[in-house]
């Protein structure tokens, strides 16, 4: 039985499925790097991690993904983003009309 504790040889045995590895991706939120640890994240999760990692935004800010063609798209709190390196996001206060 695998309990997630070290076995008698001292080797650590994973408690979860051995093929499930956390995927670390660094994205940018308001010009600051934010590390995320999965293949996907919702807009709310991206903002929450950015806040935890010191980006000066609030959970109610509007999150936008900056697209390579110079355009942007709004990422809602429940929208799922497929994470990859170099994604860029901007989070702005909901009452900012700029």
Residue 36 lies in a domain: yes
Distances in whole angstroms, Cα of residue 52 to Cα of each of 16, 49, 75, 78: 26, 5, 19, 19
The predicted-structure confidence for 33-85, as pLDDT tens digits, reads as follows 999 999 999 999 999 999 999 999 999 999 999 999 999 999 999 999 999 99
Tell me the residue range of the domain where 68 lies: 25-92
Pairwise CA distance, residues 98 & 96, whole Å: 6
Tokens linked to 85: 């390196």
Q: Domain holding 55: CATH number?
A: 3.10.20.90
How many other CB atoms are there within 10 angstroms of residue 94's CB atom?
A: 8
The DSSP code for 36 is E
Domain count, the chain: 1
Quote the tokens at residue 70. 């110079």
Decide if 46 is inside a domain.
Answer: yes
Q: What pTM was computed for the model? A: 0.75
């Amino acid at each position: 039985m695998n309990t997630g504790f070290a076995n008698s040889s001292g080797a650590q045995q994973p408690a979860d499925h051995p093929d499930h590895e956390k995927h670390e991706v660094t994205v940018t939120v308001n010009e600051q790097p934010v590390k995320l640890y999965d293949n996907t994240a919702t807009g709310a999760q991206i903002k929450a991690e950015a806040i935890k990692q010191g980006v000066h935004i609030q959970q109610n800010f509007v999150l936008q993904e900056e697209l390579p063609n110079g355009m942007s798209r709004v990422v809602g709190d429940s929208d799922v983003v497929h994470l990859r390196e170099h994604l860029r996001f901007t989070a702005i206060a909901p009452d900012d009309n700029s």
